Amino acid sequence: MTNLSTNANEPRPGQSQASPEVDLRVQLGRLTLRNPILTASGTFGYAREMAGLVDLSQLGGVLPKTITLAPRAGNTPWRTVETSAGLLNSIGLDNDGVDAFIAGHLPYLRTLDTAVIVSIAGKSHEEFVELAKRLEAAGPGVAALELNISCPNVTGGVDFGTDPMACHAVVSGVRAATSLPILAKLTPNVTRIVDIARAAADAGADAVCCINTLLGMAVDWRKRRAMLGNIMGGLSGPAIKPVALRCVYQIASTLNIPVVGIGGIATMDDVMEFIVAGASAVQIGTANYYDPTVSQRLVEQLPAALAQIDCRSMASATGCMLTQRASSNPIALQPSATK
Give catalytic residue positions.
151
User: φ, ψ for residue 106 (rounded to 5)?
Assistant: -60, -40
Phi and psi torsions of 246, nearest 5°: -60, -45
Separation CA 277–CA 275 (nearest Å): 5
Is 119 within 8 Å of 67 (Cβ atoms)? yes
Please list, in sequence order, all residues whose beta carbon lies within 8 angstroms of the beta carbon of residue 82, skipping any fewer than 6 positions away: 88
Q: How far apart are CA 72 and CA 65, in angstroms?
A: 12
287-309 burial, b at 16+ Cβ within 10 Å, e below that, comes to bbbeebebbbebbebbbebbeee
Residue 277 and residue 249 in contact, taking contact as beta carbons nearer than 8 Å: yes
**DSSP string for 188-231:** S-SS-HHHHHHHHHHTT-SEEEE--PEEEE-EETTTTEESSTTS
- Phi/psi zone of residue 199: left (φ > 0), alpha (ψ -120 to 50 degrees), beta? alpha
Q: How far is Cα 58 from Cα 11, in angstroms, rounded to an integer?
A: 9
What's the CA gap between 303 and 182, in Å, rounded? 28
Alpha-helical (H) ranges within 228-328 are 241-252, 268-277, 287-290, 294-308, 314-317, 320-328
